[in-house]
Structure 1
Amino acid sequence: MTLLHLRAVTRQFATIDGPALQILRGVDLDVAAGDRVSIVGRSGSGKSTLLNLLGLIDQPTTGVIELDGEPVALMSARRRDRLRGASVGFVFQQFNLIEGLTAAENVAVPLHYGAGRRYWRRAHLAREMLDRVGLGHRLDTRATHLSGGEQQRVAIARALVRQPRLILADEPTGALDIETGARTMDLLDRVATDAGAALVTITHDRAVASRARRVLELVGGRLHALEPSEVAA
């Protein structure tokens, strides 16, 4: 079943004294439930712009984006916000943890915007998720006292605590050493599999990209499929 569907998606930005800056020039992409996709590209190729579109943070200049067959352009801003909170989990390169909070408090943050049972059980759900990523012994440790690898695991737990169907990982190993980065990707893939979530990784690292079932390269504002031999090159 197709979870996310993009056709002929473009994104351009106005400039002060010149022509509009064309970042994406016609992106086609289908992401199925439980899929594993990596998107590679050079700095400035538009990977972050595409990530914002996939995560319903931004809207395309032209083209169609559908979530579960429903055109995003027809949704109200409030509905997009609700869907993003319920269906999309973000894992960032710089972790984006709140320094003054403990690991458990950081993971519980997304649950403060929910309602019902999840809201009232937010502390328990945060502890449970940290156990799953191997940090049950660091629940009450402030973010500033965690190692880089531990901070990334907290960020993964926070992204998954609401059980999203789509996980977007933006350079998830970029701030980590090679060994810690490999362990982080193992963990991210395992918890995504357990949750049945699709995982889309934005990366410049071909070793990270090669772990996905499909590897796409963003060149000239368009996505092109890469063969395994091209990924390893």
Structure 2
Amino acid sequence: MSLLQLGRVTRAVRLPDDTILPILHDVRLTVNAGERVSIVGRSGSGKSTLLNILGLLDTPTSGELLFDGTDVSQLSQRRRDRLRGDNVGFVFQQFNLLDGRTALENVVMPLMYATGREFWMRNRIAAEMLERVGLGHRINSMPSSLSGGEQQRVAIARALVRRPRLILADEPTGALDLETGHTVMALMDEIVREDGAALVTITHDPAIAERGDRHYRLEKGVLYSDARAVTETTPEVGA
């Protein structure tokens, strides 16, 4: 069974003048556990909207969104939030670290919502994750004292500390130099491979997209099944 499945998903918003603005059109996508999927798209293509739907932050206007076989549209907001917190990790371009917290305190944050062993052992679990991304010696450092690559590794540790089944990386190397960016992606690939999680990377960088097992391009709200075939007019059909 697929981990995440979008079937004929559309998303539209109502503007202040009461007109409807369509953003996503008939998006069909299947993501399996252990798979790396890359989606390339320019600004304004609908990337942020698609990311919000994939991450269970938003629901489609129409179509089907299944997570591990569960129809997300049938869940209450509370159950959807719990499903996201337990299963989805986000890695953002701008890191979004809390300036007044140490690296350890930033990584601990998702564990504050855990229960049982995860909650009571949260500092140890966070420290082990920082060690895993090569920052065991920086657990007490503030973000302002870390390099860009180190900050991104803290962000990765925070995203993975609850062992999510789905990792969404939104322009994860956009704020990094080329060498550091590829190092960060290699680290993410390694952790995903070890944990058997699915990784969806949304980027404008074809070189980063090429690291995926499957490649897509989002063009004016339509998802194409091959990032290199951007001139084709046939959208992804989930085959």
TM-score (norm 2): 0.94
Distance of 1:41 and 1:157 partners within structure 2: 26
Farther off after superposition, 154-163 or 12-21: 12-21
Matched, 1:21 2:21: yes
Counterpart in the other structure of 1:74: 74
- The C-alpha deviation readout for 1:119-147, integer Å capped at 9, x for no partner, is 00000000000000000000100111111
- The C-alpha deviation readout for 1:45-88, integer Å capped at 9, x for no partner, is 00110000000000000000000111001111111111100100
CA displacement at 1:220 relative to structure 2: 2.6
Counterpart in the other structure of 1:56: 56
Matched, 1:101 2:97: no
Report the AA paired with residue 68 of structure 1: D
Asked whether the equivalents of residues 36 and 200 of structure 2 are also in contact (C-alpha less than 8 Å), the reply is: yes
Q: Tell me, what secondary structure is at the counterpart of 2:3? A: strand
Query: 4+ residue runs of structure 1 moved beyond 6 angstroms?
Result: none
Counterpart in the other structure of 2:122: 122
Q: Percent identity?
A: 61
CA displacement at 1:18 relative to structure 2: 4.9
CA displacement at 1:230 relative to structure 2: 5.2
TM-score (norm 1): 0.96
- The C-alpha deviation readout for 1:140-169, integer Å capped at 9, x for no partner, is 001111110000000000000000000000
Q: Tell me, what secondary structure is at the counterpart of 1:22? A: strand
Gaps in structure 1 of 5+ consecutive residues:
none
Gaps in structure 2 of 5+ consecutive residues:
231-239
Counterpart in the other structure of 2:202: 202
Counterpart in the other structure of 2:35: 35
Asked whether the equivalents of residues 44 and 220 of structure 2 are also in contact (C-alpha less than 8 Å), the reply is: no
CA displacement at 1:195 relative to structure 2: 1.1
Matched, 1:133 2:126: no
Q: Tell me, what secondary structure is at the counterpart of 1:150? A: helix
Distance of 1:3 and 1:223 partners within structure 2: 19
Q: Tell me, what secondary structure is at the counterpart of 1:2? A: coil
Distance of 2:78 and 2:114 partners within structure 1: 14
Distance of 1:191 and 1:105 partners within structure 2: 21
Distance of 1:189 and 1:69 partners within structure 2: 25
Report the AA paired with residue 43 of structure 1: S
**Within-5 A mapping of 1:1-20:** 1-20=1-20
Distance of 1:4 and 1:149 partners within structure 2: 30
Q: Tell me how large the CA RMSD over aligned residues is.
A: 1.1
Q: Tell me, what secondary structure is at the counterpart of 1:208? A: helix
Distance of 2:100 and 2:165 partners within structure 1: 29
Distance of 1:174 and 1:56 partners within structure 2: 23
CA displacement at 1:203 relative to structure 2: 0.1
Distance of 1:94 and 1:73 partners within structure 2: 30
- The C-alpha deviation readout for 1:8-42, integer Å capped at 9, x for no partner, is 10001111115211100110000001111000111
Distance of 1:41 and 1:113 partners within structure 2: 33
